[in-house]
Structure 1
Amino acid sequence: MGIIEEVPLFPQEKIKEEKALKDWSDIIFEVSVPLFGDIDDGRSTIREATIKTGKYYIDAAKAVPRIEVKSTNKEAVIYLKSNEKRLSEILDCIPYGLINKQLTGIGATYLEMHSSRNSIIVTPTRTLAYNKSLKEPDKYLYVGTKLNGKTTSDKEIQDYLDRNIKPKKILVVADSLYKVIRTITNTGIDIYREYFLMVDEIDTLQSDNHFRPQLSNVVDYYFKFRQDNRALVSATIKGFSHPKLIEEPYITITCQSPLRRKINLLHTNNINQLLSDEIKRITKKYPNGKILIAYNSVQNALKTINLLLPELPRENFGILCSDASTDEVGNYKSVIENDRLTHKINFMTCAFFAGIDIEDKCHLIAVSNVSKGYSLLSINKMTQIYGRCRNGIISDTIIYNSNKKSFRYINNYKDKLKYKAQKVIDLLESADKLKEGDNDLTDLFSRIEKVIIEKADERFFFDTPIKLIRKNIDKKREISYFNIDALYEQMEVYSSLYSTKDALKEQLIKANHEVIFNEISFDVEELQTNEYDSRDIILNKVQLCKDKVLEMKRNNTLTDDLLNYEIRHTKRKEADYYKRIKAHYQYIDINYLADKLYDISLENKKSYRGVKNALSFWILDDNHSFKMQISEAFKDHSKKYSSQEIAEILKPIIKYHFFKTLNQSRLVGLFKIFFDWTYTQGKYLIKGTNPLAVPEPIKKISAKEEILYNYFEI
């Protein structure tokens, strides 16, 4: 934008830059129009994106501009006409800042892929990035894990940079962004000024960060780019708790005529049974129609399919899911081919909720199940799913249940989480200062750091604890804002939509949708008998994991790297099995370990915790202070110990080494896995050590090991 030719349309705040402005080209105006000539001649801009000729106004009389800037000047709105399908018809590139494109399928990624500047486009999933890159494989570079399991190498990135391709367009999975930045930086290019960074589907990064913590690193890199060289984009942008993101310029892209859906809303006490009934009803009425079911639970998709077999043929079903679920879904694994569904009945998990196009006109069913917190859908997420169907749908159904559970702190929940996390960070930073130059304090704080960090964990219902602090790309501790966003979203969605049966209906009506509501209940016996028992299937899958581990051992390829690969590409029980193997395979005979972990693979986490602690105690060096204290305290094997006596003996030892105070039941539980024992006359008599009959260790945990939390779960 020329400084002489254009002036700001509205008063501008000086852009907050991480670096000092160096020349006139660094001065940017958020919205500008030509000083001379027609305002609609293609020289007007909105945050560095040029509005195309003849597109400045939304009406034929040229009375209503399509851009509205709010009084704060940080917020703007771009209006699209109902017949405008693509952003590329209006703009020449993506504006900078937060882009809330409330409309799906308007080609935001397409627009940046065809802009005239160098771009790095970050996506949350491989499917999204890879499919986009296939549009013009000679022009675009995909960076991430390929279909053959290999990842894009630094050399492949460098080869692309060396080719005579202008502008450069790199599509990268979020986990691999660091590799792109490292390679380009090593060429001497100032990537933060020479490339535009677009992060697509930022809401998915927020939601998935708690199980893919490296996703937060994307925002660390994002703020290294000039403010006019970066954008976060989504059709379902949620509120941010990150203070820098709150300050980002914000653009909403919306339509003159909001989407109005006709929704068949079904409330039930048996999700899978009602879902199977709906599928049967639709297939009977529309034998040639396709069905798309958005249900973020592979296990429940399989249960529903089981309810429909053999009445409906097995080949009718497909499941669109992440690669991590491939083994679990088996032959049901499906793909999108040429933007078409490949089966008559298609289940879809969250890996496909964003960034794909489906050309088939189909029956859409969205499912929210309160028993699976991760399957709950917000209204924005439902809109995003609806938008995958580019040519509309035949019927629109939402199936859900509810479960009354109140929350006391919904209004200030985010603030409480941030306060909790900041207190732990302050404590750890104070500890860092205190231990400088003091080896004794260094050892002490190294032992208690994990205990302190655990105090900043939070969980929603009974799900896995979510960490509230993280280390950024500069290895500095900070609040894990994305995890806080995800926790708040779960709570807010549950509270506002699923805590009563009428809440979702009321919110859909409020959003201007036509809602036809029905409640369909099933008796208790039907609920119980329809549960699909997958015990044998899970055991078979774990057996395959066991066989693979033993084969690795025979081939001398059993390493942390290979186990990490299997952990990343499996889910639930299989992933748990590999994690448990990894914890002890270097210390314990692999045949014993593989068998033992297989035997307990279907038991709960408490059972594994006991086995893990027993194994770790056995492989601990006999001269380790913890083992010596335990052995000395119970050296009299002829004495009978009451539960109270055991607790009194173990309590100070556990507190010293693990900084935790356990109740009597937990302490007696530890006694039982440390010793072989018999129970007589209401007391415990020690028969020996090694209650699990573990073979002699291959190697032992060092007697100097201070951080026992790496080996025990106390």
Structure 2
Amino acid sequence: MKRLFQKLKFEVIPAILKKGQRLINTLKTIGYKDIPSNVILDKTLTGIGATYQELHAKRHSIIIEPTLPVIHDKAYGKDEILPVYENCKVPDVKRYLQRAEIKYKKILTTPESFWKVKKACEELKLDMYGMFFCLFDECEKVTEDSDFRRKITKPMKDFFQFEGKAFVSATPLKVSDPRFENFKWIKVKPDFDYKKSLNLIITNSYEMSVRKLLLDDLANSSCVFVFLNTTDGIDKIVNTLGIEGQSKIFCSGKSVKKLKKKGYANVASLYSEPIAKYNFLTCRFYSALDIILKVKPDIVMLTNLYEAEHSMIDPYTEAVQICGRFRKEINGSTFNSITHVTNVRNTLKVKTDEEIDIELEEKLKTYEDLQTRYNTATDKTRKEAILDDISRLGLAEFATQLDDGLLEIDYFAIDNYYNNERVKRYYLSGNALKESYEQTGHFTVNYRSVFYAVSDSVRMELKQLPTFSERCKLMLDKLNKLQGDPDRNFYTGILKQEKDGELIVEAYEKLGVEVFANKKYQRAEIKKALDKYNIELLRFSPMVLQEIREAFPLNVPIPQEDIKNQLQDIYKRYGIDYKVKKNTVEDYYDVSLSYSKKPYTYTLKAIRENLSK
């Protein structure tokens, strides 16, 4: 079956890159002094100067960068470059464009703020499409991010109207958009070995492997850069390992606010120094950013499929980009080590390309049927009803709604769907991920599988079990097997994170395994028994016993009611939920009672022998 959204085939122009050369050198070998128009420029290597080349080219340039940190990095302190993002307004762009002393205008913009540049040009009656060369940097992001960041594709309609335009990246993805049909693909081919050694750790216990890597294996590292695309996951690591004082977190502005509410101080939305021992970065820092350090870092990439499927790292794009962030060579290398720790899941729901083909074909047929009905309808009410149905179609997530309410295919959203499923397939098994890393041509893989007593799959099973009784039995089996394990405390900490984990682990440790069967695995009964145990533990704790000793003199008649009230006050101060009776004092003292006259009294003879130690 012919695919509806076939990836385009391009004329590939090879360009040889020699060791130590920059992009401009390799472009000259194929007849260009600048980045040419109508090309997808596949740099192969990061840091060879594509953005630098365009910023210094003798022409006006609009460079679309996928994330703000990159723009800040490239434009900071450079008055001749205009950074356009959220805080930059249309009048700011107009003022910059009117500055006569800047011969070649250089604008760096996020996709979401591109409209400001367009509007400024319109208001100044400038021919933007003829005046500027438009470079879309790190171009794979327009495909990778289009599912959760729909506005990233907004400049594309304008992009194709520029007389001079190019896509560029060290890791471009194939495209299906027919507007690229007249483009050529320039492939930079280094004539030297550029493979990096990568440690791939496939684990059945993500948290245990991360703990061992960060606290043991990298304990003596000067600095560790951890790339993980979930701030909740970063928060969990920092808290579980107790490394907040040694950590710095780089994430989005929204996540910065969230983490600061939790008490974090060393957190930022833009990369800045000084760095910490452990530096955590989310996906907005995976590409384009230049990190120049005085020491060689250890690079760590983390993926936890059981808690955040979106933490998957694509070996072909994101892994290459991450390792390319570090630009300063020290003794022939920019890093000490690269490690990717991940779990795998053969139960991931993954679609083949063929299945996606069929799904999209059916969605398109449904839309075309409605579109035909819309075009033939003459009644306004009918047209509005059909448009309402169109807006709810499954195809709508892969299309842009036009002004008339009809849909226009968004080829980047289509490519994103295929791309996401491609990456998922790598995480079905350790071998599949290993092979994908090797096939990139960028890595020599040192592969290792590690297994621990409490696995991520067990934790997933615990989450899925519907009843307390079932969770109890599975957790008790694991707790029994942990007896004597040197890492038992860490594992029990992991189990406590699961539903009812705190109760089950505490009851197991304090009351023993027998209590569960005795109480017929009934949550309320087990909690009742544990609460009773904890109350008794508090009632006879050293602090409470000391206060009771100081409250009551020996061998002196004391009204029973006074003793009862004083004991209740002591319990209240220590949060002991226990109703004191008149004879409760006998739990603590040998006593003699007097009922000869009211008020009846106790004479406390001595603290009970078993409590006096």
TM range (shorter): 0.5 to 0.7
Establish whether residue 244 from structure 1 lines up as the match of residue 185 from structure 2. no
2:275 alignment partner, one of 335, 342, 345: 342
Aligned to 1:144: 85
Write out aligned runs for 1:58-457 (5 A). 74-87=11-24, 92-96=33-37, 97-136=39-78, 138-145=79-86, 151-164=87-100, 165-226=102-163, 229-286=164-221, 289-309=222-242, 312=243, 314-330=244-260, 331=264, 332-334=266-268, 340=273, 342-360=275-293, 361-371=296-306, 372-380=308-316, 381-391=318-328, 392-405=334-347, 410-413=352-355, 415-416=357-358, 418-436=360-378, 438-451=379-392, 453=393, 455-456=394-395
> CA distance change for structure 1 residues 399 and 474 in 2, over 3 Å: closer, same or farther?
farther
- Of residues 379-388 and 277-286 in structure 1, the stretch that sits farther from structure 2 once superposed is 277-286
Contact 2:353 2:418 in 1 (8 A): no
Q: How far did residue 427 of structure 1 move? A: 3.2
Task: Name which one, 1 or 2, has greater alpha-carbon Rg.
Answer: 2
Structure 2: distance between partners of 1:532 and 1:319:
26
> CA distance change for structure 1 residues 532 and 348 in 2, over 3 Å: closer, same or farther?
farther
Structure 2: distance between partners of 1:333 and 1:477:
41
- Which runs of no fewer than 5 residues in structure 1 stay unpaired? 1-71, 146-150, 458-466, 536-714
Establish whether residue 507 from structure 1 lines up as the match of residue 436 from structure 2. yes
Contact 2:250 2:282 in 1 (8 A): yes
Structure 1: distance between partners of 2:357 and 2:365:
12
Aligned to 1:667: none
Q: How far did residue 188 of structure 1 move? A: 2.2
The superposition leaves residues 342-361 of structure 1 with CA deviations (integer Å, 9 ceiling, x where unpaired) of 21101111100011111222
Contact 2:202 2:448 in 1 (8 A): yes
Contact 2:202 2:341 in 1 (8 A): yes
> CA distance change for structure 1 residues 178 and 505 in 2, over 3 Å: closer, same or farther?
same
Q: How far did residue 250 of structure 1 move? A: 1.2
The superposition leaves residues 135-175 of structure 1 with CA deviations (integer Å, 9 ceiling, x where unpaired) of 51x21111111xxxxx3222111111111111111111110
Establish whether residue 494 from structure 1 lines up as the match of residue 494 from structure 2. no
Write out aligned runs for 1:687-702 (5 A). none
Structure 2: distance between partners of 1:471 and 1:247:
26
Aligned to 1:181, the other structure's residue is in SS state: helix
Q: How far did residue 400 of structure 1 move? A: 1.2
Aligned to 1:403, the other structure's residue is in SS state: coil
Aligned to 1:393, the other structure's residue is in SS state: coil
Structure 1 counterpart of 2:179, one-letter code: K
Aligned to 1:253, the other structure's residue is in SS state: strand
Structure 2: distance between partners of 1:418 and 1:95:
35
Aligned to 1:284, the other structure's residue is in SS state: coil
Structure 2: distance between partners of 1:475 and 1:220:
18
Q: How far did residue 248 of structure 1 move? A: 2.1
Aligned to 1:530: 494
Aligned to 1:94, the other structure's residue is in SS state: coil
Contact 1:117 1:167 in 2 (8 A): yes
Aligned to 2:147, the other structure's residue is in SS state: coil
Structure 1: distance between partners of 2:95 and 2:105:
12
Structure 2 counterpart of 1:233, one-letter code: V
Count of residue pairs brought into register by the alignment: 437
Q: How far did residue 408 of structure 1 move? A: 7.9
Structure 1: distance between partners of 2:403 and 2:113:
13
Structure 1: distance between partners of 2:496 and 2:122:
53
> CA distance change for structure 1 residues 508 and 306 in 2, over 3 Å: closer, same or farther?
same
Structure 1 counterpart of 2:493, one-letter code: T
Contact 1:307 1:530 in 2 (8 A): no
- Which runs of no fewer than 5 residues in structure 2 stay unpaired? 1-8, 329-333, 455-477, 479-489, 500-613
Contact 2:73 2:290 in 1 (8 A): no
The superposition leaves residues 86-121 of structure 1 with CA deviations (integer Å, 9 ceiling, x where unpaired) of 537855422221111110011111110110001111
Aligned to 2:20, the other structure's residue is in SS state: coil
Write out aligned runs for 1:677-696 (5 A). none
Contact 1:425 1:478 in 2 (8 A): no
The superposition leaves residues 387-433 of structure 1 with CA deviations (integer Å, 9 ceiling, x where unpaired) of 11113101121111111147785243553354244324423422432
The superposition leaves residues 263-315 of structure 1 with CA deviations (integer Å, 9 ceiling, x where unpaired) of 222111222331122110244333xx100011111111111111211xx4x22
Identity of matched residues, %:
24
Contact 1:197 1:225 in 2 (8 A): yes
Q: TM (normalized to structure 2)?
A: 0.66
Structure 1: distance between partners of 2:176 and 2:93:
34
- Of residues 400-409 and 365-374 in structure 1, the stretch that sits farther from structure 2 once superposed is 400-409
Structure 1 counterpart of 2:417, one-letter code: L
Contact 1:320 1:335 in 2 (8 A): yes
> CA distance change for structure 1 residues 238 and 517 in 2, over 3 Å: closer, same or farther?
same
> CA distance change for structure 1 residues 119 and 262 in 2, over 3 Å: closer, same or farther?
same
Contact 1:82 1:256 in 2 (8 A): yes
Contact 1:273 1:530 in 2 (8 A): no
> CA distance change for structure 1 residues 315 and 482 in 2, over 3 Å: closer, same or farther?
same
Q: How far did residue 476 of structure 1 move? A: 5.8
Structure 2: distance between partners of 1:359 and 1:316:
20
Q: TM (normalized to structure 1)?
A: 0.57
Contact 1:119 1:195 in 2 (8 A): yes
Q: How far did residue 236 of structure 1 move? A: 1.2
Contact 1:425 1:469 in 2 (8 A): no
Structure 2 counterpart of 1:324, one-letter code: K
Structure 2: distance between partners of 1:440 and 1:472:
19
Write out aligned runs for 1:567-586 (5 A). none
Aligned to 1:552: none
Structure 1 counterpart of 2:268, one-letter code: S
Structure 1 counterpart of 2:435, one-letter code: E
The higher-RCO structure (CA 8 Å, 6+ apart) is 2
Structure 1: distance between partners of 2:55 and 2:48:
13
Contact 1:291 1:345 in 2 (8 A): yes
Q: How far did residue 532 of structure 1 move? A: 8.4
Structure 2 counterpart of 1:241, one-letter code: S
Contact 2:350 2:421 in 1 (8 A): no
Structure 2: distance between partners of 1:290 and 1:532:
31
Structure 1 counterpart of 2:390, one-letter code: E
Establish whether residue 517 from structure 1 lines up as the match of residue 447 from structure 2. yes
Contact 1:144 1:172 in 2 (8 A): yes
Q: How far did residue 523 of structure 1 move? A: 2.0
Structure 2: distance between partners of 1:425 and 1:103:
42
Structure 2: distance between partners of 1:532 and 1:124:
40
Structure 2 counterpart of 1:482, one-letter code: F
> CA distance change for structure 1 residues 468 and 335 in 2, over 3 Å: closer, same or farther?
closer
